[in-house]
Structure 1
Amino acid sequence: MKRISYQNPYTLMLYLVLVFILLVSCFGTYVSCSKYSNVSTTSSSLVTLCPPDQSTALQQFKGQFAFVKPNFTSYYYYCPHYENPYYDADVYESYPKMKFWKKEKDCCSWDGVTCNTKTGKVVALDLSNSWLQGPLRSNSSLFKLHALRRINLSYNNFSFSVIPSEFGQLFRLTHLDLSFSMFSGHIPSEISFLTHMFSLSLSSFLNYDATSLLHLGEVEFANLVQNMTNLRHLLLHQVNISSSIPKSLANLFSLTSLRLGGCSLHGKFPESLFQLHKLEVIDVPCNYHLTGILPEFQSSNSLREVTLDYTNFSGKLPNSIGKLNSLSRLAIRQCNFVRPLPSSICNLSQLTYLDLSLNHFTGHVLPSTLGNLAKLVVLLLYSSQFSGEVPSSLGNLTRLEDLRLRNNSFRGQIPASLGNLNRLKKLYLSSNNFSGQIPASFRNLTELTILRLIDNNLDGVIPSWLFTLPSLKILLLASNQFTGPLTVQNMSSFELQILHLNANKLDGRIPRWLGRSLEILNLQGNNFSGRIPHEIFTYGSMNNTMTLLDLSHNQFQGRVPQSLINCSKLQVLNLGHNQISDTFPFWLQSLPELQVLVLRSNKFFGPIWHPTKYLDFGNLVIMDLSVNHFTGSLPSKYFRNWGSMSEAPDRNNSDMEYFGQYENRSQYSFTYKYSMSMTNKGSEMLLIETLTIFKSIDLSNNRFDGEIPSSIGKLHSLVMLNLSSNNFTGSIPSSLGNLSELESLDLSKNKLSGRIPQQLADLTFLEYLNLSHNQLAGPIPQGTQLDTFSYSAFEGNPGLCGSQLSKKCENTVTPIPFLRKDEEEPENGFTWKVVVMGYACGFVVGVVIGHVILSRWYFYGL
């Protein structure tokens, strides 16, 4: 290299300039590209890019919030029991970003802040999942950052504040994400001023009462679509729009994703939207009144996801659907699509998720070539009237993790080829006509967590290896023809949480290892015999996990094992219809969460009250001790401390709870609700998915004597009371008139005397009454609710008279007492005004009980 002369000052100056440029290049400002291609972030502390006004505005914005990790568990995604496929809080990093902003550092280096490399102004702010808590106000310093192009404030808690209209002043915005951040009220019309918008996400949770937190008017929706001509992504999940979809939406030629789940949309979905060449995602589930059909598709179509679940789309799937070469997700659950299912669906080689459930694809419409969809991860075909044999080609879908074929008419043996699906986590084959035995090839399903084979014709011995599948947590084999005893090869591998073997033909003794890790054990309706092993609940003492135990309708003998006291989380205990011979297990009162106790149809004997042993059942809501040999009387204060039955029910609560309810949505996405049989309204009936508001006491068919305790009138939420076929004496307690929720009352076949209390007329919800075969006398109160009951409710009481009986009273009209203004109301708070109101409320209660009894699901709800 030629030596540079330092004698020439111009040469020296040039040399120094070159050196300075070199130093700046090497040690000056280092600019790194952010995730946004057109902006960048500064990380050097040598040169400050962030202007003071930008730094001040950000610091003020930080000061407007507390940092509290949000808890969204009380809020809901659209669709009941619908799995949200778009967000999993465990996947996204959540931490308080602004908490680590330091004043002494350049604001362009702060977490979540992106600046323009030339001006230093803040152009992007990503504070998603940043624990922000507090209202976002219209005077927020956020709106001083006029250069902002991207804002992401999703998954924070803005305390139900309204979305400030000042967002409309940030004219440069191209991306705005305020989704699932506890905003409420109407979305401001000023949002539609943002004509440069590429991506708009305002999705919302549902509130406690399943109403939308955010609303968007029909006009504002139309203006938004009309003005944002550059829009590529529009996400408004669970925003209450309550209108049709503007046809002008089809003019957004740059649109690539449209997500409008649970927006109360109605009218017809524009077919032209399916033809937008750049559109990749159409996601509009849970718009129950949204109609539409699928058009003919072209090969140039770019659709990757089509989700129409729980809409009113109808018609046939066009054969041209096979041209959607990029389609990876097709979900049309519970629509009105009809057969035939086009064979071209098997050309969709990119499909990973296919849900055709709850439609009308009847007949032999499951092509054997379905096994060509090699990339399928989820295949849901339940409740769609499919029939025939399941093709063995399904065993080719080796990436499959979730296969649900339940509630169809499939027949024949379960294909052994399903054992090839070694990634399978969920297998639902319930409610079909499968026969034969469980294929031994299932041993290979080492990832399986849920196996549901309920309500088929499967037979033989339950294979012992099934209990040792390493990942299996939920095993449901109820309502089949399985026989023989239960055996297991390796007890240490038993890690089940839910086991349903009810309604089979199993016999022998139940294994002592069975309670090792179970939360729900249902063995109802088999031929198990011998004593109930106390070791079952000794295992449970390690975890205290068991919440439901149903051993009813078997041949168990001996006593109730006191080791049950270890199951401190037990909510439901059903030992009915066995041969158990024991005294009343007073120690069960120590179980703090016990809600259901059924000892019906056994050989229990002795009293159910003892002055030193009896405390109370504070959480009990169903007690069935009927058809035993219990004796003795009950003191007048017997029911005084039964807390759960004393509380008035909240009929305004739309979030119904069920006995034995089990939900594990995060890990296994499994919901269980307990069903049980009991005597109600004079006959034994099945309560499907039994609601906890159904509160009952059945002490019938025993040998109780003495008077009926007056404290029973404190059980204000009691729905059913059966004390029939005992030796109760004395009068009917007038306190029964306080049981304002009572629908069924049976006091028949006792030795009750005296008059029928006038207070029974206050029971305006009463649908079943039986006072027959006692020693009652006097007139039946007339002109009241009691007029609705027939002769059979009062027969066998020679001293009674009334219009319902052959023996008429001298004065057949009992005047209804009306209070004068100067008279006080009765102590129990009931007036005839309340009675009239009660009749008006009767329809509401009828709907609730109809839900209990006429559930659409089968006995076992699975």
Structure 2
Amino acid sequence: MRYSPIFFYQHFLCFLLLSLSFQATLSATHLCSHDQSAALIQFKTHFSINKTVSKGCEYEYEYGKKSYPKTNTWKKGIDCCLWDGVSCDNITGQVISLDLSCSWLSGEFPSNDTIFLLSHLQSLDLSFNDFKKSTISSHFGRFPSLTHLDLSSSSFSGKVPYEISYLSKLVSLDLSVGNSEIVLTLEKSTLDGTVGNLTEVREIYLDGVNMSSVGPNSFMNISYSLTNLRLTLCDLHGNFPDNVFNLPNIEYLNLNNNPSLSCQLPKLNWTSPLVVLSASETPFYGGLPESIGNLKSLQELGFVNSNFSGPIPTSLGNLSQLGFLFLPDNNFSGSIPSSLTNLTQLRLLVLNSNRLEGPIPDKPNAFPNLGYLDLSYNFLSGSTPSWLYTHPSLSFLSLENNKFNGNIKEFQSTLLNYISFKNNSFQGTIPSSISELVNLTNLDLSSNRLNGTVNMEIFSKLQQLTSLELSANNLSLISPNSSVNFVLPNLEYVFLSSCNLSVFPNFVMGSKVLKQLDLSNNRIYGQIPKFPWKNIQLLDLHSNSFQGDLPTLPRSINFFSVSNNNLTGEISCVCNMKFVGILDLSHNNFSGIIPQCVGNFSQSPWVLNLKMNKFHGIIPSIFAKGCGLRNLNLNSNQLEGPLTPSISNCKDLEVLDLGNNMINDTFPHWIEALPELRVLVLHSNHFQGSVVSSKNPQSLSKLQIVDLSNNNFSGPLPTSYMKNLRAMMNLDKGKAAAYINDGYDFFYCSSCERIGG
């Protein structure tokens, strides 16, 4: 049989390809040299494996890195090019990439480790490990081919070595610090060398690196190749060079949290390709220039508390790609530009805490993709536009603390999960469509002029609700069908003060996660129900018509007020409280003795108000050292016996009101040990004897109000004592009849400017 030349040619090609493939397979499986393998094994021995040190990698959506112990695959007898995290050159067999990010490595990093023998490395990533505050070795500068170096969030500390600047081929450098307890410092000479030598660098991330000794002008000559620069929390000082904002390739620039840095945005010819610009908590001088509208690629703009003033530029409406606009906590004034409604890609608009005035722009199809709108804490006014209630994608809406008026319209979108119209002048009734907002987690309509009767069943479908606030309106909340009960299992915060309630709302009883409940200033009568909440912290029931005994109080509670009710019985149940911030049982008919436990409560500051009850016996005899009491008001009871000097253990005590009792004692000279005392009331008791002279000229220096009237004191008032009362000389006469302690406890004294005998 004869074969054509083509037949032989085809078979020759097949043989050649099979031969080359076999050789490539052999070389691919036997690339790693013994020296490289040994160097990596030696490196591995320095560290233990601890999963918790790489917990930052749990935020995979942000970092995109899988967390697992890669060095567990590093074993002798296996080609190191097959180990996790190791990549080799297919031809030379040299290790060119080492990715040990999120590898759970824990231990000190040797300054002269064998890893530095891998001289052909092009990429080295050691991020998200814990190297126990090791210094960055100068030997990191020994990788002449390195293009990517990432040492971020791995607990390196000390000074960044100058040798980092030798890595002239670097394209990406990340030295970011992920732990506030770690101090990594970059000095001026090192930064200058890095900026001067890294001519090809495109990405520099130095978040959290202390650069307080560096002048921002060091960045003036940074590479024109730069696309990403991140300098968050670097403690930079001085004026930041504005040419960085104009770099021809810059896309991501972050200067957040540098309060001692001073910046100014370019006013003319600003056409950089910026995609993200963020400088929150970093001060700028001047306004936000109209040139910002030239950044056609901008998708995210963030200036939170950046000291901007003046109007919001109308040119922002030209940024057709803008998706996120954060400008809160500045001093922007004027109106919200109507041009912003042209931003068809805008998903988040945050302008809260400025000085903006006028109405919300009202245009058909405004902000078609908006999902989050926060205009709170401004001076905006007028009625609210219809698009707020019909917007198909809006989920977060906050207009609180403005001057809006008119009616709240019916909501047509069920996507809303957060509504806050608090502290405005809205009128009319609560819209019935609230009942259909099944995704709602927060509803706050408090402090408006809303009126009408509200059937509490309107909330029965809102099973996701965590916060409900309707206080300070002219509403009347009713439950016409008492046999119908519903549960809102996720409620954490309920504020229904001044809502004309006559019964305790059953729906709050079904929540196991309730933390704060305010039902004050209502008409609720009957006994206080047993509390089913294990984690409640604030419970305010003052100014109702509750009767009977106090139920057992949850241990978690730290604010409890039932003042101005008709409660009776003893109060031993308060001893169950683990921590007390404010305990106000005043203006009731409680009786019995004051339990000793009140002298042993937490050392944290707290207020005890038992005024206007029927307590008898002596004041608890022991107040523990470190007692945190700031206000002790036992006025108008039937207390007897001598005072206990251990009250002087309460060094932060500001108000001591024991008036209108039957206390029989001499003047309590130990009050000189109370450096913060501002108010002392002993009137209408059975104190006798002379007022003891002050031995310490610095004592009672803050005392402003003293009432010793209607007692049996005798003798003259000591001159030395009177001279100590310097703070009384500064007492505002207009405030003499009222003393407000920490904005909570109101104290009234009929003889605030005299010391009676």
Whether TM-score is above 0.5 comes out as yes
Q: 1:485 to 1:630 in 2, by over 3 A?
A: farther
Render the CA deviation track for 1:596-635: whole Å, top value 9, x for unaligned.
32223x3132134358x98953467423324321321235
**What corresponds to 2:66 in structure 1?**
93
**Pairwise CA distance, 1:515:** 4.2
**Range with greater deviation from structure 2 (264-273 or 716-725):** 716-725
**Range with greater deviation from structure 2 (277-286 or 737-746):** 737-746
**What corresponds to 2:692 in structure 1?**
756
**What corresponds to 2:421 in structure 1?**
453
Given the alignment of the two structures, is residue 521 of structure 1 paired with residue 499 of structure 2, yes or no?
Answer: no
Render the CA deviation track for 1:16-70: whole Å, top value 9, x for unaligned.
9954751663796399xxxxxxxxxx7xxxx232222222222232222232234
Q: Quick one: which of 36, 46, 55 aligns to 1:64?
A: 46
Tell me if structure 1 keeps the 8 A contact 2:54–2:102: no
Q: 1:528 to 1:157 in 2, by over 3 A?
A: farther
**What corresponds to 1:281 in structure 2?**
252
Tell me which amino acid in the other structure corresponds to 2:34: P
Superposition pairs of residues 148-297 of structure 1, within 5 angstroms: 148-205=121-178, 207=180, 213-242=183-212, 243-246=214-217, 249-296=220-267
Q: 1:528 to 1:4 in 2, by over 3 A?
A: farther
Given the alignment of the two structures, is residue 630 of structure 1 paired with residue 568 of structure 2, yes or no?
Answer: no
**What corresponds to 1:328 in structure 2?**
299
**What corresponds to 2:25 in structure 1?**
29
**What corresponds to 1:603 in structure 2?**
588
**Pairwise CA distance, 1:284:** 0.9
Q: Quick one: which of 558, 564, 582 aligns to 2:568?
A: 582
**Pairwise CA distance, 1:638:** 4.0
Q: 1:425 to 1:726 in 2, by over 3 A?
A: farther
Instruction: Give, in whole Å, the separation in 1 of the partners of 2:629 and 2:150.
Output: 44
Tell me which amino acid in the other structure corresponds to 1:118: I
Q: 1:333 to 1:631 in 2, by over 3 A?
A: same
Render the CA deviation track for 1:550-587: whole Å, top value 9, x for unaligned.
334x434224662x64x4433322333x3242234322
Tell me if structure 2 keeps the 8 A contact 1:108–1:115: yes
2:92 aligned counterpart, secondary structure: coil
Tell me if structure 2 keeps the 8 A contact 1:229–1:252: yes
**What corresponds to 1:507 in structure 2?**
500
**What corresponds to 1:146 in structure 2?**
119
1:350 aligned counterpart, secondary structure: coil
**Pairwise CA distance, 1:791:** 8.9
Instruction: Give, in whole Å, the separation in 2 of the partners of 1:373 and 1:614.
Output: 60
Instruction: Give, in whole Å, the separation in 2 of the partners of 1:72 and 1:530.
Output: 56
Instruction: Give, in whole Å, the separation in 1 of the partners of 2:195 and 2:741.
Output: 41
Instruction: Give, in whole Å, the separation in 1 of the partners of 2:233 and 2:621.
Output: 52
Tell me if structure 2 keeps the 8 A contact 1:149–1:172: yes
1:508 aligned counterpart, secondary structure: coil
Tell me which amino acid in the other structure corresponds to 1:698: N
Superposition pairs of residues 606-625 of structure 1, within 5 angstroms: 606-609=591-594, 616-618=600-602, 621-625=605-609
**Pairwise CA distance, 1:853:** 7.1
Superposition pairs of residues 421-820 of structure 1, within 5 angstroms: 421-441=391-411, 444-448=413-417, 450-463=418-431, 466=434, 469-483=437-451, 484-485=453-454, 487-489=456-458, 491=460, 493-505=462-474, 506-509=499-502, 510-517=504-511, 519-523=514-518, 526-531=521-526, 534=529, 537-538=531-532, 540=533, 544-552=534-542, 554-559=543-548, 562=551, 565=553, 567-576=554-563, 578-600=564-586, 602-609=587-594, 616-618=600-602, 621-634=605-618, 637-640=621-624, 646-647=625-626, 695-739=630-674, 742=677, 744-754=679-689, 755-756=691-692, 758=694, 763=699, 766-768=702-704, 770-773=706-709, 774-777=711-714, 780=718, 782=720, 786-788=724-726, 790=728
Instruction: Give, in whole Å, the separation in 1 of the partners of 2:434 and 2:701.
Output: 49
Instruction: Give, in whole Å, the separation in 1 of the partners of 2:687 and 2:364.
Output: 67
Instruction: Give, in whole Å, the separation in 2 of the partners of 1:156 and 1:606.
Output: 62
Tell me which amino acid in the other structure corresponds to 2:618: L
Q: Which structure would you say has the larger RCO, counting Cα contacts within 8 Å and 6 or more residues apart? A: 1
Tell me if structure 1 keeps the 8 A contact 2:217–2:240: no
Q: 1:29 to 1:378 in 2, by over 3 A?
A: farther
Instruction: Give, in whole Å, the separation in 1 of the partners of 2:272 and 2:258.
Output: 24
Q: Quick one: which of 47, 53, 56 aligns to 2:35?
A: 53
Instruction: Give, in whole Å, the separation in 2 of the partners of 1:745 and 1:197.
Output: 71
Q: Which residues of structure 1 form unaligned runs of 5+?
A: 6-10, 32-41, 76-85, 641-645, 649-692, 794-849, 855-862
Given the alignment of the two structures, is residue 118 of structure 1 paired with residue 91 of structure 2, yes or no?
Answer: yes
**Pairwise CA distance, 1:783:** 7.7
2:334 aligned counterpart, secondary structure: coil
Q: 1:53 to 1:492 in 2, by over 3 A?
A: farther
Instruction: Give, in whole Å, the separation in 1 of the partners of 2:544 and 2:428.
Output: 21
Q: TM-score, normalised by structure 1?
A: 0.73
Tell me which amino acid in the other structure corresponds to 1:194: L
**Pairwise CA distance, 1:468:** 6.8
Instruction: Give, in whole Å, the separation in 1 of the partners of 2:611 and 2:455.
Output: 30
Instruction: Give, in whole Å, the separation in 2 of the partners of 1:516 and 1:247.
Output: 61
Instruction: Give, in whole Å, the separation in 2 of the partners of 1:637 and 1:273.
Output: 69
Tell me if structure 2 keeps the 8 A contact 1:422–1:446: yes
Cα RMSD of the aligned pairs, angstroms, is: 3.8
Instruction: Give, in whole Å, the separation in 2 of the partners of 1:777 and 1:187.
Output: 74
Identity of aligned residues (%): 30
**Range with greater deviation from structure 2 (498-507 or 322-331):** 498-507
Tell me which amino acid in the other structure corresponds to 2:50: V
**What corresponds to 1:815 in structure 2?**
none
Tell me which amino acid in the other structure corresponds to 1:558: Q
Instruction: Give, in whole Å, the separation in 1 of the partners of 2:2 and 2:608.
Output: 107
**Pairwise CA distance, 1:469:** 3.7
Tell me if structure 2 keeps the 8 A contact 1:275–1:297: no
Q: 1:785 to 1:195 in 2, by over 3 A?
A: farther
Instruction: Give, in whole Å, the separation in 1 of the partners of 2:639 and 2:580.
Output: 24
Instruction: Give, in whole Å, the separation in 1 of the partners of 2:521 and 2:365.
Output: 33
**What corresponds to 2:486 in structure 1?**
none
Tell me if structure 1 keeps the 8 A contact 2:599–2:622: no
Tell me which amino acid in the other structure corresponds to 1:399: N
Q: TM-score, normalised by structure 2?
A: 0.82
Instruction: Give, in whole Å, the separation in 2 of the partners of 1:50 and 1:764.
Output: 80
